[in-house]
Amino acid sequence: MSENTQKEMEKELKEEIQPAETQETVQEKKEEKKGLLKKGNKDKARIEELEKKVAQLEEKTAKDKDDYIRLMAEFDNYRRRTSQEKLEIVSMASSETIKGMLPVLDDCERALAVLKESADSAAAKEGTELIYHKLMAYLQSRGLAVIEAKNQPFDTDLHEAVAQFPVQDEEMKGKVFDVVQTGYTLNGKVIRFAKVVVGI
């Protein structure tokens, strides 16, 4: 056999063998692709599942955060409300105590008026004035203020008319002519109206 013939035969054998290898390789590649596709499908399904879980967790977190914010706001309102109630209770207790002291102030004012007209000793006058001023200074430090009424225009928010009195002076018409009982405010709020006589 010649050398050329041998080479030709080898060449033919190679050509016969190569297509078979190629078919096997193609088959393997197809199977590999199928495997990759299956794996890709599994990965895709896993990714979708994880994305759903992330969305659910984000939704739950948002709801929990909203509930937390509402709870904090509710607690803040509760704290403010209870604080305000405590202040009102203290203020009311203070107001009731000071209201109870007003008749004592009235008695001191009456005693001072009587002592000024009497011929009693100066010591009695000074002692009564001292007691009155000390009591008044203490109550004023707690927020008590006298309602100025005499010669002021009649104001239903501050004054209570107990009588009307005809006056000659035109300027005194509609104004307070006399004060029967002194009125007081506590921290800007009227606790006793001034009882007055109004000029007409």
Question: Cα–Cα distance between 187 and 192 in angstroms, integer?
Answer: 13
Please give the CATH architecture assigned to the domain spanning 145-200.
Roll (2.30)
Confidence of residue 23 (pLDDT cuts 50, 70, 90): low
The set of residues, in sequence order, having a beta carbon less than 8 Å from that of 195 and lying 6+ positions away, is: 159, 160, 162, 179, 180, 181, 183
For residues 39 and 124, the model is more confident at 124
Distance of CA 68 to the CA centre of its chain: 17
Least confident of 4-18, 131-145, 181-195: 4-18
DSSP summary character for residue 150: T
The set of residues, in sequence order, having a beta carbon less than 8 Å from that of 63 and lying 6+ positions away, is: none
CA distances from 28 to 16, 20, 138 (A): 19, 12, 105
Q: 161-198: per-residue pLDDT in tens? A: 998 888 888 788 888 888 899 999 988 889 999 999 88
Q: Across residues 94-100, what is the average pLDDT?
A: 86
Report if pTM > 0.75.
no
What does the domain layout of the chain look like in residue ranges?
145-200
What mean pLDDT, rounded, does the chain reach? 82
